[in-house]
Amino acid sequence: MEKQRYERPVILKMNTGLMNKFGTKTENEPVTHIESVPVKSLLSEYGSPLFVISEKQIRRNMQNAKRIFKTRYPKVRFAWSYKTNYMNAVCRIFHQEGSWAEVVSGFEYQKALGNGVPGEKIIFNGPDKTDEDLIAAAKNNSLIHIDHYDELYSLIRLSEELDLHPRVAIRVNMDTGIYPKWDRFGFNFENGQAWNALTRILNSKNLDLVGLHCHIGTFMLSTNAYATATRNLCELAWAAKERYNKMVEYIDLGGGFPSTNTLKGAYLPGTDTVPSIDQFADAITDVVLTYGFRQEEMPTLVLESGRALIDDAGYLLGTVLATKRLSDGRRATVLDFGLNSLFTSLWYEHKISPAKQHGSQTEEMVLFGPLCMNIDVVRESVVLPLLEKGDQLVVHKVGAYNMTQWMQFITMRPNIVLIDKDNNTHIIRKAETLEYIEQLEQIPDHLK
């Protein structure tokens, strides 16, 4: 007689305060394939854990966002936010789709050049630009977004000394009614600082004011805030036009559009609460279109979206190392990836799916990473099927920030695989080796 399928015996106390199991069915739908590639074969070929990126999804996201904005406003440009994911393969997909590069350090600037982006299509943001960075950016005709007065005066001095004519914008911070206010970057709108900086630029011989920039925050859930930001930038542009007869070429609304991940502490899941790109586009373009600019002076709209374009194209696959019971009776599952690879588990309740069909029985558990660190928790509480050692899991929407903020800590970083549009797989960053990690180390003679 054929034996019956086994399922671990479980007993649950019926507790009226417990989340009822009818609330969590969707979490337990298995995800057996990424695009059309089986999770199982990905893990056996490339090892576990493993980051997987879908090229198709990136292109879909990018084309979708472009369509949404371009159907509302004639002049729109996207610049890929390097810090969100600066794997060269990923950047090149965005550049192929027509995105410029948005960088925030000399390191990222060099990466963009290396990816073949012409200097004049690189936006250089951020508070950290050395004199060398500024000179290189000016010579390459890149767009320098000035963050503070020290940078403004450095740039004026350098441009005079070296006879450079940098194309610049200022970053403006403002109160858009959201919390927290990102007033540490750029020049403040309300107290007049931004206008002062603008007049300083407009009165300088060498600096060419071409744009206005803001970036009001990250993971923004309010479309109103973008309308306010757009209005403020338009107001500055209008003032520059009226008083200095100088119309800027573009206004740059930065990034900040959320992905549909669920933030920790949020009551409702992100898939239900996050505004769509259409809603953001409506808020922004309505303001510019009706502000009163003449057709020919309408500024180009620049967007530096990162997270919203890449998050759902990235997956982290992993394996259960062990299951155990904690002293308070809670079930614990130890995974082969943790905070070191999945940095975003600090602020998201990541959706995690089993990679195969399990029985219908589920249990509440805490998911730990493999590090010998108490803070290494992937999910504090999640309802999943009865997992055993060796079971595989899929973490969703990990494309943003993980592959740039990950830590080489205790373990080494895993492979990143790209699934192309024909469902072929390519390693785009190899798993680290001991040799790679140690190649920069040096041992003083007395310790040899």
Partner 1 sequence: MRVRKNIATSDEGFLFNPTTGDSFSTNPIGTEIILLMKKDRTSKDIVDAICEKYDVDRALFERDLDDFTLQLKEFSLLE
Partner 2 sequence: MQTSTLREKFNRPLVIAVTGLNAIDSPGPGVAVIRAIRECKDFDVRIIGLSYESLEPGLYMHDIVDKTYQIPYPSGGTDSLFSRLKYIHEEEQLDVIIPNFDAELYNFMKLSSKLKEMGINTFLPEIEQFNARDKMRLSEFGKKYGMFVPKDKIIHEKRELQKLEDDFDYPMVVKGKFYDAVIARSKDQAEKAYEKILAKWGLPIIVQEFIKGTEINIAALGDGTGNVISIIPMRKLYITDKGKAWAGVTLDDDNLIELARKFIEVTKWRGGCELEVMLTSDGKPYIMEVNPRFPAWIYLTAAAGQNQPASLVKMALGEKVEPFTKYEVGKIFIRYAWDLITNIREFQMISANGEL
> Given the rule CB under 8 A, which residues bind partner 1?
3-14, 325, 329, 359, 361, 388
Window contacting partner 2 (CB under 8 A); options: 42-50, 227-235, 268-276, 370-378:
268-276
Examine residue 6 and tell whether it contacts partner 2 (CB under 8 A): no
Whole-angstrom Cα distance, residue 124 to residue 401? 19
Q: Are the C-beta atoms of 337 and 49 separated by less than 8 Å?
A: yes
Smallest CA-to-CA distance from 253 within 120, 55, 65, 404 is with 65
Three-point CA angle 49, 54, 59, nearest 5° = 155
Residue 73 C-beta: closest distance to partner 2, Å:
24
Q: Which CB atom, from 132 or from 380, has the smaller least distance to partner 2?
A: 380
Selection from partner 2, partner 1, none that 359 binds (CB < 5 to 8 A by kind) is partner 1
Selected from 272, 296, 328, 445, the binder of partner 2 by CB under 8 A is 272
Query: What kind and span of H or E run contains 90?
Result: helix 88-96
Residue 359 C-beta: closest distance to partner 1, Å:
8
Window contacting partner 2 (CB under 8 A); options: 52-60, 264-272, 355-363, 438-446:
264-272
Phi, psi of 186 (to 5 degrees): 80, -165
Q: Which CB atom, from 213 or from 397, has the smaller least distance to partner 2?
A: 397
Helix intervals (H) in 322-443: 402-405, 434-438
Q: Are strands 416-419 and 362-368 parallel, antiparallel or unpaired?
A: unpaired
Q: Which CB atom, from 24 or from 196, has the smaller least distance to partner 2?
A: 24
Examine residue 179 and tell whether it contacts partner 2 (CB under 8 A): yes
Selection from partner 2, partner 1, none that 19 binds (CB < 5 to 8 A by kind) is partner 2
Examine residue 267 and tell whether it contacts partner 2 (CB under 8 A): yes
Selected from 2, 5, 11, 14, the binder of partner 2 by CB under 8 A is 14
Q: Which CB atom, from 6 or from 179, has the smaller least distance to partner 2?
A: 179
Those residues whose C-beta lies under 8 Å from the C-beta of residue 95, and which sit 6 or more positions away, are 80, 101, 115, 116, 117
Residue 320 C-beta: closest distance to partner 1, Å:
13
Q: Which CB atom, from 329 or from 444, has the smaller least distance to partner 1?
A: 329
Tokens found for residue 9: 């015996």
Tokens found for residue 235: 């107001």
Whole-angstrom Cα distance, residue 303 to residue 230? 12
The alpha carbon dihedral of 152, 238, 140, 147 has a sign of positive
Q: Are the C-beta atoms of 185 and 129 separated by less than 8 Å?
A: no
Selected from 10, 19, 326, 407, the binder of partner 2 by CB under 8 A is 19
Residue 23 C-beta: closest distance to partner 2, Å:
3
Selection from partner 1, partner 2, none that 292 binds (CB < 5 to 8 A by kind) is none
Selected from 265, 329, 390, 444, the binder of partner 2 by CB under 8 A is 265
Q: Are the C-beta atoms of 377 and 368 separated by less than 8 Å?
A: yes
Smallest CA-to-CA distance from 83 within 65, 101, 100 is with 101
Residue 364 C-beta: closest distance to partner 2, Å:
13
State the helix-helix crossing angle for 131-139 and 106-114, rounded to 10 degrees.
30
Whole-angstrom Cα distance, residue 143 to residue 283? 26
Residue 324 C-beta: closest distance to partner 1, Å:
9
Examine residue 327 and tell whether it contacts partner 2 (CB under 8 A): no
Selected from 5, 11, 20, 205, the binder of partner 2 by CB under 8 A is 20
Residue 383 C-beta: closest distance to partner 2, Å:
10
Tokens found for residue 263: 């933030």
Residue 15 C-beta: closest distance to partner 1, Å:
9
Examine residue 16 and tell whether it contacts partner 2 (CB under 8 A): yes
Q: Which CB atom, from 224 or from 360, has the smaller least distance to partner 1?
A: 360
DSSP symbols for 17-81: TSPPGGG-GGGGS---EETTEEHHHHHHHH-SSEEEEEHHHHHHHHHHHHHHHHTT-S-EEEEEE
Residue 25 C-beta: closest distance to partner 2, Å:
6
Q: Is the peptide bond before 180 cis (omega within 30 degrees of 0)?
A: yes
Q: Are the C-beta atoms of 286 and 227 separated by less than 8 Å?
A: yes
By CB under 8 A, the count of residues binding partner 2 is 20
Residue 329 C-beta: closest distance to partner 1, Å:
6
Selected from 44, 271, 405, 408, the binder of partner 2 by CB under 8 A is 271
Smallest CA-to-CA distance from 154 within 89, 204, 81 is with 204
Examine residue 9 and tell whether it contacts partner 2 (CB under 8 A): no
Examine residue 30 and tell whether it contacts partner 2 (CB under 8 A): no
Residues that bind partner 2 (CB under 8 A): 14, 16-17, 19-26, 179-180, 265-269, 271-272
